[in-house]
Amino acid sequence: MTSRSDIAIEFIHVDYAVDENRSLLSDLNLSIYRHETLILLGRSGSGKTTTLKLINRLLSPTRGVVRVENKSTLEWDAILLRRSIGYAVQEVGLFPHYTVEQNVALIPRAERWDKRRIANRVREVLSLVGLPYEDFAQRYPHQLSGGQRQRVGLARALAANPPILLMDEPFGALDAVSRAEVQREFSSLRKRLGTTTVFVTHDVSEALLLGDRIAVIEEHQCVGVYSPDEFLASPDPRIRAYREISRDSGPTSEEQK
Amino acid sequence: MTFLDFLLKHRVEVTMLTMEHLRLVLWSMSIALLIGVPLGIILARFAKLRAIVLGANSVIQTVPSLALFGLLLPVPWLGARADRLTITALALYALLPIVRNTLTGVTGVEPAILEVAHGMGLTNRQVLWHVELPLAAPVILGGVRVAAVITIGVATIAAAIGAGGLGEFIFRGLAMVDNNVILAGAIPAALMALLADGAIGLVQRLVQRPRR
């Protein structure tokens, strides 16, 4: 059904430990297919972010292999690997001393694209995330709303046209309304782009909305990978617990508004 | 004779000594910057060197300026000319605030921002130029500001070993017990310090502006 060449990222028996007593990830086996959006769902401190950082080699596995495009991350040149992977994180991601345009153009500049190509690409990705170039290019991050900052973060991650995109709770700091708005846009965007995306979140409804598959990470281990339908139907008590949390928190957050 | 009369009469000499003073300050500041900023960056990377380098630097700072001139006198190439000697001593004094503030500024950059910068695929050098130095710039400039004011003040002592500058008036005035002569050296030096402080402060605010 799926051959090796359909796999973009693969974790094979991966451990990551800070030292002998503190393991952050143990025996992770996970295949991420080309063009899919895989959600890493779990509580804070469960190992989701660690998993993400193993992909762009901000961390190296203490045991096992992480393969990106059929090559161990340790065999990749770290800079080359990272430039072929877009990286968007919560809140602090943008450089405060650079304008929107400078932030977005950073990697294309580092890659020495010619000026015209960079200018075109900045326009293109900004319009892709719904920010008109004329209105936003010259602003600084502190002159943007939270939702706009997240969009710039996404535009910057997409700028060099990477085949893989890593997102670490990118919408985590937003209020409920802008969050829903950005989620909707991202959902349609990812279908158009076809980028392989690994998306970290602790929000069950976000996982169900955006994911093709959901990998549940608990206590530094992956307890299973589910399609949204399987996730909703799973009899596993651990998965049921997630569904109940999301059902309970749904109405209360409505009331708060 | 009033002070203003004295200034008018000696305006050529005042201007000349002011320029001489400025030259000593600019040279020593340039050298201190060229050594201090890279040294601060190195210390930010290698924590083990910090105690030694900052300690040695503080020791220099505690040596009185006249004594430091004297100590450098026997050094071959340096001791040969008073201005070389002065510039070296002044640069040594200016070093500590520049090194210390560069270290503080660079190590003070939020770790999360650095991680994103590396995660995007910037090289170490690009992270330094695009992220660490711009974000540390206001703190580094704070050190430069302190160093400039110290240097302008201490440079007046240079006249004692014949390096010229506005200290000439001060020492001459002390010998002649003539306040006008002392003030002709002290006031331009004070003005220069105030101007430097204000100008660097302005640059500091400019680099700080587009931030949260």
Task: Catalogue the E-assigned strands of A103-233.
Answer: 164-168, 196-201, 213-218, 221-226
Q: SS3 for A60?
A: coil
User: Residue B46 burial by CB count (10 A; 0-12/13-18/19+): exposed, middle or buried?
Assistant: exposed
Q: Which residue of B has its CA nearest to A78?
A: B121
When divided into structural domains, chain A yields a total of 1
Longest dimension (CA), chain B: 71
Q: Which chain A residues have a beta carbon less than 8 Å from that of B111? A: none
Q: Judge whether B112 is closer than 8 Å to chain A, CB to CB.
A: yes
Least confident interval from A101-105, A252-256, B92-96, B146-150:
A252-256
User: Residue B97 burial by CB count (10 A; 0-12/13-18/19+): exposed, middle or buried?
Assistant: buried
pLDDT in tens, A235-248: 888 888 888 877 66
Neighbours of A238 (CB within 10 A): 12
CB contact under 8 A, A97 and B210: yes
Q: Judge whether B111 is closer than 8 Å to chain A, CB to CB.
A: no
A4 secondary structure, DSSP code: G
Q: Which residue from A79, A142, A166 is facing B211, i.e. has the nearest CB? A: A142
Q: Which chain B residues have a beta carbon less than 8 Å from that of A96? A: 135, 210-212
Residue linked to tokens 């004594």: B67
Q: Which residue of A has its CA nearest to B211?
A: A96
What does the angle CA B105 – CA B108 – CA B111 come to, to the nearest 5 degrees? 140
Query: Which amino acid belongs to residue B212?
Result: R
Q: Which residue of A has its CA nearest to B116?
A: A93
Q: SS3 for A184?
A: helix
With a CB cutoff of 8 Å and minimum separation 6, the contacts of B1 are B9, B180
Residue A109 lies in a domain: no
Q: Which residue from A107, A140, A142 is facing B120, i.e. has the nearest CB? A: A107
Of A222, A231, A200, the closest CA to residue A29 belongs to: A222
Confidence label for B25 from pLDDT (cuts 50, 70 and 90): very high
Please report the ipTM that was assigned to this predicted complex: 0.86
pLDDT at A251 over 50: no
Q: What pLDDT shows up at residue A153? A: 92
Separation of alpha carbons B193 and B189, rounded Å: 6
Could you tell me if B145 and B204 are in contact, meaning their C-beta atoms sit under 8 angstroms apart? Answer: yes
Q: Which chain B residues have a beta carbon less than 8 Å from that of A82? A: 118-121
pLDDT in tens, B29-85: 999 999 999 999 999 999 899 999 898 888 888 888 888 888 888 888 887 788 888
pLDDT at B139 over 90: yes
pLDDT in tens, B158-186: 888 888 899 999 999 999 989 889 999 99
Q: Which residue from A56, A98, A141 is facing B119, i.e. has the nearest CB? A: A56
Q: What is the CATH number of domain B3-208?
A: 1.10.3720.10
Could you tell me if A122 and A133 are in contact, meaning their C-beta atoms sit under 8 angstroms apart? Answer: yes
Separation of alpha carbons A252 and B47, rounded Å: 49
Residue A112 lies in a domain: no
Separation of alpha carbons B116 and A107, rounded Å: 12
With a CB cutoff of 8 Å and minimum separation 6, the contacts of A206 are A39, A171, A183
Q: What pLDDT shows up at residue A2? A: 56
If contacts are CB pairs under 8 Å, which of residues 128-157 in chain B contact chain A?
130-131, 134-135
Confidence label for A200 from pLDDT (cuts 50, 70 and 90): very high
CATH number of the domain within which A229 lies: 3.40.50.300
Separation of alpha carbons A172 and B185, rounded Å: 62
**Beta pairing class for A71-72 and A85-89:** unpaired
State the residue range of the domain holding A5.
1-84+208-257
Q: What pLDDT shows up at residue A172? A: 80
Overall average pLDDT of the B182-204 stretch: 94
Of A257, A255, A191, A242, the closest CA to residue A37 belongs to: A191
Separation of alpha carbons A54 and A60, rounded Å: 6
Sheet holding A37-41, edge to edge: A85-89, A164-168, A196-201, A37-41, A213-218, A221-226
Least confident interval from A115-129, B19-33, B56-70:
B56-70
Q: What proportions of chain A, in percent to the nearest 5, are helix, strand and coil? A: 45, 25, 30
Q: What pLDDT shows up at residue A92? A: 67
Backbone angles phi, psi at B2, to 5 degrees: -75, 170
Separation of alpha carbons B110 and B136, rounded Å: 10
* pLDDT, averaged across chain A: 89
Residue A73 lies in a domain: yes
Here the tokens at position B14 are 């005042």
Q: Judge whether B113 is closer than 8 Å to chain A, CB to CB.
A: yes
pLDDT in tens, A12-28: 999 999 888 888 999 99
